[in-house]
Structure 1
Amino acid sequence: MIGQKRGTVSLIHYKEEWSEIFHKDKNMILQILGNNIVDIQHVGSTAIPGISAKPIIDILVGLKNIFETESFISKLEEKNYKYRPNASTKDRLFFIKGTEDFRTHHLHVVQHDSNEWNRMIHFRDYLRENVNVALEYNKLKEELAVKFPNNREEYTKGKEDFVKQIEKLF
């Protein structure tokens, strides 16, 4: 099962089906973005076996040229990925899949091998390789989810110090 109401925080334990869902969308994204893609990765907590996550699949797309966007934004929107310019930055284009009441995917489009790409990949890999740290992160997330079930912003803010400490390692 995937999907969660925007702004809420409800964690469920890792599901193997999350990887299958990622691969299904990965293939569709490859067809749309074609030759501009360098790599597509499953990131975020749904990509880390053994920990709980908001059941929203995070997909990271690394492009050769992030500025060649006009050709694919409309194609992604045709496949139900809605572009969110207000949530995008100069280094990342952000898309969501699903409705406001039932978000299922977050799509992050960045320049391959950029700081944003490396940050997301290294954080995921570090937690996959360091089970005790992943469990510590999981405990923090579960505590924050209980404290902020209807405030995703505060939940996210509560994880920042932990994430920054890990990011200092790479």
Structure 2
Amino acid sequence: MPSTYDPPKSRPVVVVPYQASWVDEFHQIGTRLRKILQDEAIRIDHIGSTSVPGLAAKDIIDIQITVRNLDNISEFIGRMCAEGYVYREGNQSDIYVGPEGGDKRQWRKRYFRQAEGERSIHIHVRQQGNLNQRYPILFRDYVRNNPTARAGYDQIKRRLVEIFPESIEGYLYIKDPLMDIMFEAATVWAAHTGWELDDQYL
């Protein structure tokens, strides 16, 4: 397949069929996080592809922790690090989605990885009310409730792995703008259905 885009190789990109065990794994991890953080976490949500029944995904549990204020979480970070979670200080923002001159502060976050020797997880810490806090929950619920979007997204991810089997950069090169398009569709769906953040969290 001729192409002018030649992304660098990285780790292998592996997408696996949906695993029902992901739900239980999230609950185990989320319950542990709730005990560590107590009321510092407003809500703890299972997000990403592993949160959507029937959707193929990389075998990584994505978790969103909502906090009141990202500028005042030094104790939060200390508690997480004390439990072995790895704080990635260099990852403090999601990819900005919006017009030029938009409020990029709406996309700030903090980010942790699993403790050494534990199963792969991505922990995204986002501020209550920010666009990037709403985004993953809305996207999850939209894909859960739209079989056509779910099937199309599943197929695209599988094809991307075929095209970029050893390049996460190549995989994301196509996937990231697709997510922007799907989020616009999810926003229309939310307005049509009256969707709101639910209370189904840890």
Q: Output the TM-score relative to the length of structure 2.
A: 0.75
**124, 147, 152: which is aligned to 1:108?**
124
What is the distance in 2 between the residues matched to 1:103 and 1:24?
12
Alpha-carbon contact 1:39-1:63 (below 8 Å) kept: yes
Distance 1:8 1:74, change over 3 A: farther
What is the distance in 1 between the residues matched to 2:83 and 2:61?
16
**54, 57, 74: which is aligned to 2:58?**
54
Q: How many residues align structurally?
A: 164
> Which stretches in structure 2 are left out of the alignment for 5+ residues?
1-9, 94-104, 188-202
Q: Which residue of 2 aligns with 1:22?
A: 26
Q: What amino acid maps onto 1:155 in structure 2?
A: Y
What is the distance in 1 between the residues matched to 2:139 and 2:174?
17
Rg: which structure is higher? Answer: 2
How far apart are residue 80 of structure 1 and its match? 2.8
User: What is the CA deviation profile of residues 10-38 of structure 1, one whole-angstrom value per residue up to 9, with x for unaligned ones?
Assistant: 01111111111111111111122222221
RMSD: 1.9
Larger strand share, 1 or 2: 1
SS at match of 1:94: strand
Instruction: Tell me, yes or no, if structure 1 residue 13 matches structure 2 residue 21.
Output: no
Distance 1:103 1:151, change over 3 A: farther
Q: What amino acid maps onto 2:109 in structure 1?
A: R
Q: Which residue of 2 aligns with 1:160?
A: 176
- Answer with 90-99 or 144-153: which moved more: 90-99
What is the distance in 1 between the residues matched to 2:33 and 2:136?
19
Q: What amino acid maps onto 1:150 in structure 2?
A: E
Q: What amino acid maps onto 1:16 in structure 2?
A: A
How far apart are residue 43 of structure 1 and its match? 0.5
Q: Which residue of 2 aligns with 1:97?
A: 114
